[in-house]
Homo-oligomer: A and B are copies of this chain.
Amino acid sequence: MKAAIVTIGDEILIGQIVDTNSGFIAKALDKIGVQTHEMLSISDDKQHILSTFSKLQNKVDLVLITGGLGPTKDDITKKTFCEYFDDTLIENREVLAHVTHLIENFFKRPINQMNRDQALVPSKCQVLFNKVGTAPGMWMQKENTIYVSLPGVPYEMKYLVEEVIVPKLVTEYKRPYILHKTILTYGQGESLVAERIEAWENNLPSFIKLAYLPAPGRVRLRLTARGENAQILEDEIARQVQALSQIIGDIIVGYDENETLEVVVGKLLNKANKTLALAESCTGGKISELVTSVAGSSSYFKGSVVSYATETKIKILGVLPEMIETHSVVSAAVAEQMALGAQKLFQTDYAIATTGNAGPTAGETNEKVGTVYIAIATPNGCISEKFELGEPREKVINRASNKGLEMLQKEILKNI
């Protein structure tokens, strides 16, 4: 089964927002063996939508469309649908009742004409009921191609993809088996990694494809196997990964692409039955946000102090004023006292502390932009490290947050 993903919206074409919907859909499709052949972003324009549909007609089996739905956008998209499928709009009672309920309960006002119009759908379409928003999804077919229209609001799109479309595709359509395996390597560049594994790569069976995904300081290798027999694919991938680890085992650091550092750290803390607190200065709450983004984090995360002001570091975290005077507020000594302060305040086993200068200007210390000290308080003491994380601000905050979690991970592993 081959798919195309189409995003409708001028806001994407002028670069005002980045399209993250297509990636989410592609990942969901890939998991169930539906291959995304192409992604397109086009304008809110009837002719553009029609010509795109025509180009994809019978070239792919499935066209997933996001955007172009919503109280002020429905009009063009739905009318275009009607034109393409030679159909007319009718009012769907169930959708109308749902829209009315949502508006009256959430916005505490009667529905207006625009809300009422959201219940209009092409007569031939199968309505995909949207429990979490007002714009319904629509499923239509022309010859060999299915067209599914979804709202562009990410959580509404996600709900419909996960709860409605994927289950429907799984039960009603035949798909091949696709298996991916990602190998994370750190510390060597793409061309050197490629040189080292060249002989192995040339001997890969034809149903397995290798891709290099380089990023600063690391290269991910992705193996993709495609076929009808799941067991054969799984066995062969396992064999190849084993062979690969014998060649470049020295630079391989992991195998699970979804396992973000905050998820890994959460699992480790749960397993060890240990707790965590944070004292964040230059990261300003970013590590807290990452840690609490994991459902169930309340079992190991006790809390954090975002100590932006120097007096907060002294008063709440117990950093000694003379320590700040001697070493400056951006220093290993202060980072360590902050970590120990948080560990004591929240009575946890571990604590991460950050202090540094995220920019854009040098701030109250002489440390240059991008300098960050990170400390980890553990059951056996406290360690710290200095980093130069460059600029701009956003990058420093993100990098420091990752470094903090990475250091914590290492310390937990030492103590398990």
Contact = CB atoms under 8 A, between A and B. Distances in A.
Interface of A: 10-20, 22-30, 35-44, 48, 55, 70-73, 103, 106-107, 109, 112-115, 132, 153, 155, 180, 182, 188-192, 194-195, 209, 211-215, 222, 224, 257, 278, 280, 284-289, 291-293, 295, 297-298, 301-309, 311-312, 315-316, 345-347, 359-361, 363, 388, 390-395, 397
B72 A191 contact: yes
Given A10-B209, A288-B289, 19 more contacts: A10-B211, A13-B37, A14-B27, A15-B29, A15-B36, A16-B222, A16-B257, A19-B22, A19-B23, A38-B42, A112-B191, A114-B191, A132-B391, A280-B285, A285-B289, A292-B397, A297-B308, A304-B306, A311-B347
Contacts of A13: 26, 35-39
B15 A30 contact: yes
A191 B114 CA distance: 6
A339 to B, nearest CB: 15
A115 B307 CA distance: 40
A153 B214 CA distance: 8
A224 B13 CA distance: 13
Contacts of A39: 12-13, 19, 39-41
B306 A278 contact: yes
B195 A70 contact: no
Given A17-B23, A194-B71, A11 B222 contact: yes
Number of copies of this kind of chain in the complex = 2
Given A212-B70, A288-B288, A309-B302, A38 B37 contact: no
Contact of A394 (B155, B182, B192, B285): B155
A226 B141 CA distance: 38
B346 A312 contact: yes
A216 to B, nearest CB: 8
Contacts of A303: 305-309, 312, 316
Contacts of A43: 37-38
Contact of A291 (B115, B284, B360): B284
A167 to B, nearest CB: 18
A190 B135 CA distance: 12
A36 to B, nearest CB: 5
Contacts of A195: 112-114
Contacts of A72: 190-191, 194, 212
B19 A15 contact: no
Nearest to A115: B191
Contact of A26 (B15, B40, B107, B288): B15
Given A18-B18, A284-B293, A190 B28 contact: no
Nearest to A201: B72
Nearest to A317: B303
A416 to B, nearest CB: 23
A28 B15 CA distance: 8
A194 to B, nearest CB: 5
